[in-house]
Amino acid sequence: MATTQQQPSSDYVTLVSCDGYEFVVRRSCACVAGALRRMLDPNSSFNEAVTGRAVLENINGIVLEKVCEYFYYNEKNKDARDVPDMDIPPELCLELLMAADYLNT
Amino acid sequence: MASEPVLPPLIAGGGDNSSLADSAFEGSSSDPAVFSSDDLRDASCDDYVSSHRKRLYRGAWWGLNKTRRKLRRTIDSGVFMGSEGTDGSADDVLEELHGRSPLSTGINGEVRRPSAQGGLDIFSLASQRRQIQTISTHDNRFHPYSPASIAPRIAIESRADNIIGRCLEGGVDRVDLSGQRLNFLSNSTISQLKHLVKTPQYESASLDSDSFESMIPSIDLQLQSNLLRSLPSALFQLEHLTILNLRYNYLSELHPAIANLTNLEELHLDGNDLRYLPYEILKLLGKDGKLRRLLLCSNPLLKLAAEPIAGQTGLLSAADAVAEVVRARAHARAKDAEKRESVPAGEQQPSSQSHPSSNQPEDWEPRHLISTSLKLLAIDGSLYTNPTSTITPPCPIISSSAGSSLGVATPGPPSSVFTSSSVSAAPSLFETALRVCHSNDALEHLPALLPLDTPESVSRALRETLRIKESEDERVCTVCGKWYLLPRTEWIEWWDCIPPPPGVPRIPPATVEEEVTKTIARAVPLIRKGCSWACRPGVPPRTEKAGK
C-alpha cells in the first residue's frame, strides 16, 4: 500500500517465471519482497517499473506460484495475532528457500 | 482310517502327462504363466512339476552366472571376503598387513575388506590411540572438537556417568560433578537423572504423622569448576532440579530453556562468560517462579551505566533513565506508605550470604528498568541494514556467540522501516521454507542437494536449522510466544530482578540517588528475541490481547 501512492502505475504487476508462466498479483502484495519492491518502485526508472512486469530468471513456475501464494498469505496475516502456517509441499522447500533468499522475503 | 477320504492320485512326473495337461488347460482364458526359465527349451506352465526339464543347478544363486570363474584361491582364514579385483592379490594384502601392524589380524573377528589403505588405516589408528593417551594425561584444555579430544572426552564423561550412576543407585539427590574437568556433557548422561528416585531415610524417620516426606527428589546438581562451554539440552528437562550450581565454567550464554526448570530455587552462575541472561528467566523469578537465589558475580555482564540509551526524547544517559524509573517508583511507594503504616520493600544489595528460605517479601517482583533500542535482523538472521538509508548504526556491536550481532544502544531504526510493507506478523518466506526443511526427515541430506552457486546465507541458515534440530533447541518468541527458527528482532532489557535476600532486615535507602546507584549496580541485562519485525518492544504480549 505504501508504494502505491503514485497512481499512474497500475495496482497490479505481472511476475514472469523462467519457464514463461505469468502471475498477475497486486502490487502491494508483491512489494512484500524487498527485491521486487526495488524493481517495481514507481519512482525508479527500471524497465520493470515502467512496464509493471518483472521477469524472474531463476524461479520456475511452480515455485513462483507458491511465492505468489505467500505474498497474499503475508498480506492477509499482516496484523494477525495468530498466524496460521502456510502449506508448503516438502519437495519445494529448498527451491523456495533459494527463491526467498533471492527475493529477500 | 477307512473313513478317510481318498486323495486324488498325484500326477506322476513324466513326458506323457504334459500332453494331458495341455489338453486340460486348452482354451482357458488366461495366458500361460511366464517363468524365469521360459527361455529354456520346451518350457511352459505345464512343465512346472516335471523337474527334469529344468536346468539343474545346485549352489548359491550368486554363483549361477559365474560358474566359469576360476576359484583358485585356497585361503580360508574366514577374514577376507573375495571381491572383484583383489582375488589374486589377497595374499599380498595379508602379508602387508602382518608386516605393518600386529593389530591387523581380525580385531574382534571383524571382517575387513582388503584394500590398499587397509593396513595404513589400522596403523595410524594405533598410533593415534597412543597419542590420545598421552594427551589425556597431560593436557586438559584442548579444543573440544579436535579428534584427539574424543577419547579423553569419553573418559571424563564416563567418570561423570559413574557419579550419576552411584547417585541413582543410592537414591541421593545431591549430584556432585564439581571439579571433574568436564568440558562436555552429553544428553544421555544427564537425562539419566530424570529417573532418580529418592530412598527413604529410615533411621531418621519416626512414625509421627509429621514424618511423611516427599519422595519426589529435589535434585541438587553441582557442576562448578568444570570446563563447560555449553549445557546439554537434557539438563533443562530435569523438572525436579532445585539447585543448579554452574560456578566457574566457561558459559557464554544461558539457554532460554532454563525457564523449563520450574522448581529451580537456586542458580549459581558466578565466574562465567555471560554477558546477558535470557529473558525467559523472568518466569522463574516472578511470583509464579521459585528461583530465590540468583548469583551472577564476576560475569562480563553488559553494564547499564556505560551505554547511552535512545529514549523518547533523544539520547539520554542510562543513569538518567533509571533515575526516572526509580524516582517514579519511590514516589509511588511514598504514596503507598501514607496509606499503610509499614514501609514496604526497601532495596538490598545482592549478597551471596543469604540462605534460601520461603519468607519472601510479597511485594517484591522483577521490574523493568530500561531497554536498548531494537535491533532488526534480516530474513537470514544477519544484521539488517536499511539499504535506503546511508546511516550505519554508530554503535558498539557486540557479537554474541550465536553468530548474530547485537548493537547496544543504537538510535532506533528509521521510522520509515515500520511504515513500509515489510513489517508483518507473518513469518518470512525464508523462515517458512526453513520450517518445512526443519520438519523434513532428510534434513541432514538437504545441504548436499543445494546447487553449487547457492548463496552463503542459504547454506548457513540450513546448517543452523540442522543444529537446532539436532540439539532439540526450542526457540519461542518472547513477544508472541510462537515457535521460530531464526530471530528477526533482538534487544536487551535491563531488569531489576535479583531477588532480595530474605531474612536480612531491609533498610530503605536514605536517598533517591543512593537507590539509583544501587539499582544500576544490580540491573541484569536480559536478551529478548522476536520472531518477526512486528514483535518488538512495546508490543503487548499475546496473553493481554491488546489491539494494535
Note whether B265 and B316 are same-domain residues. Answer: no
**B440 to A90: CB separation less than 8 angstroms, yes or no:** yes
**B432 to A37: CB separation less than 8 angstroms, yes or no:** no
Q: State yes or no: ipTM above 0.90.
A: no
Estimate to the nearest angstrom the gap between the alpha carbon of B270 and the chain centroid: 23
**A100 to B425: CB separation less than 8 angstroms, yes or no:** no
Domain region containing A15: 2-103
**B426 to A83: CB separation less than 8 angstroms, yes or no:** yes
- B219 within 8 A of B171, measured Cβ to Cβ: no
Query: Which of B257, B272, B295 is a domain's end point?
Result: B295
pLDDT of residue B412: 43
**B425 to A28: CB separation less than 8 angstroms, yes or no:** no
Choose the closest CB to A79 out of B422, B425, B428: B425
**Closest CA relative to residue B527, chosen from B236, B253, B229:** B253
List residues of chain B with CB under 8 Å from any CB of chain A.
Answer: 378-380, 387, 419-430, 432-437, 439-440, 446, 449-451, 454-455, 457-458, 461-462, 480, 482, 534, 542, 545, 548
Number of domains in chain A: 1
Which residues in A lie closer than 8 A to residue B455 (C-beta atoms)? 98, 101-102
- B309 within 8 A of B493, measured Cβ to Cβ: no
CA separation for the pair B68, B73 (Å, rounded) = 14
Could you please report the per-residue DSSP string of B67-83? TTS--------SS----
Note whether B393 and B453 are same-domain residues. Answer: yes
Helix pair B456-470, B429-438: axis angle to 10 deg: 40
Residue B271 lies in a domain: yes
CA separation for the pair B5, B2 (Å, rounded) = 8
Domain region containing B211: 147-295
Note whether B412 and B382 are same-domain residues. Answer: yes
**Closest CA relative to residue B368, chosen from B303, B321, B313, B310:** B321
Note whether B216 and B271 are same-domain residues. Answer: yes
CA separation for the pair A2, A48 (Å, rounded) = 18
Number of domains in chain B: 2
Note whether B291 and B318 are same-domain residues. Answer: no
The C-alpha of A26 sits at a distance from chain B's nearest C-alpha, in angstroms, of 13
Residue B480 lies in a domain: yes
H/E run at residue B374: none
**A79 to B548: CB separation less than 8 angstroms, yes or no:** yes
The C-alpha of A41 sits at a distance from chain B's nearest C-alpha, in angstroms, of 12
Q: Indicate whether A21 pLDDT > 90.
A: yes
**B426 to A103: CB separation less than 8 angstroms, yes or no:** no
- Which of B423, B429, B438, B535 should be substituted to probe chain A, the one whose Cβ sees the most A Cβ atoms within 10 Å? B429
Residue in chain A lying closest to B417 (CA): A2
Which residues in A lie closer than 8 A to residue B426 (C-beta atoms)? 73-74, 77-78, 80, 83
Which residues in A lie closer than 8 A to residue B423 (C-beta atoms)? 78
- B494 within 8 A of B369, measured Cβ to Cβ: yes
**Closest CA relative to residue B344, chosen from B360, B356, B358, B355:** B360
Using CB atoms within 10 Å of the CB of residue B147, give its burial: 0 to 12 exposed, 13 to 18 middle, 19+ buried. Answer: exposed
Query: Which of B295, B319, B354 is a domain's end point?
Result: B295
Which residues in A lie closer than 8 A to residue B548 (C-beta atoms)? 79
Note whether B287 and B343 are same-domain residues. Answer: no
Phi, psi of B10 (to 5 degrees): -70, 145
**B429 to A105: CB separation less than 8 angstroms, yes or no:** yes
Tens of each residue's pLDDT in chain B, 548 residues: 455 667 666 655 444 444 444 444 445 566 666 655 555 555 455 555 555 555 666 777 776 665 555 666 666 666 655 554 444 455 555 555 555 444 434 444 444 444 444 444 444 444 444 444 433 434 444 444 444 455 566 777 888 888 888 888 888 888 888 888 888 888 888 888 888 887 766 655 555 556 666 777 888 899 988 888 888 888 888 888 899 999 999 998 888 888 888 889 889 999 999 989 998 888 888 777 888 888 888 888 887 755 555 544 445 566 777 777 777 877 887 777 777 654 444 444 343 333 333 344 556 778 888 777 788 888 887 777 655 443 333 333 333 333 333 333 344 444 444 545 557 788 888 999 999 999 888 888 888 888 888 888 888 899 889 988 888 777 888 888 888 898 888 888 888 888 877 666 666 667 777 877 788 888 888 898 888 888 877 765 544 333 33
Note whether B320 and B225 are same-domain residues. Answer: no
Note whether B289 and B328 are same-domain residues. Answer: no
Cβ density class A4-31: b for 16+ within 10 Å, e for less:
eeeeebeeebbbbbeeeeebebbbbbbb
What is the signed CA dihedral for A29, A31, A32, A35, rounded to 10 degrees?
Answer: 140
* CATH number of the domain to which A60 belongs: 3.30.710.10
Choose the closest CB to A105 out of B428, B440, B482: B428
Residue B65 lies in a domain: no
Residue in chain B lying closest to A72 (CA): B426
Which residues in A lie closer than 8 A to residue B432 (C-beta atoms)? 70, 85-86, 88, 96, 100
Query: Which of B295, B319, B341 is a domain's end point?
Result: B295
- Cell numbers describing residue A100: 526467498
Residue B5 lies in a domain: no
The C-alpha of B322 sits at a distance from chain A's nearest C-alpha, in angstroms, of 32
Note whether B505 and B532 are same-domain residues. Answer: yes
- B412 within 8 A of B373, measured Cβ to Cβ: yes
**B426 to A3: CB separation less than 8 angstroms, yes or no:** no
Return the CA Rg of chain A.
14
Which residues in B lie closer than 8 A to residue A32 (C-beta atoms)? 421-422, 424
**B432 to A88: CB separation less than 8 angstroms, yes or no:** yes
Residue B31 lies in a domain: no
* CATH number of the domain to which B235 belongs: 3.80.10.10
CA separation for the pair B362, B77 (Å, rounded) = 79
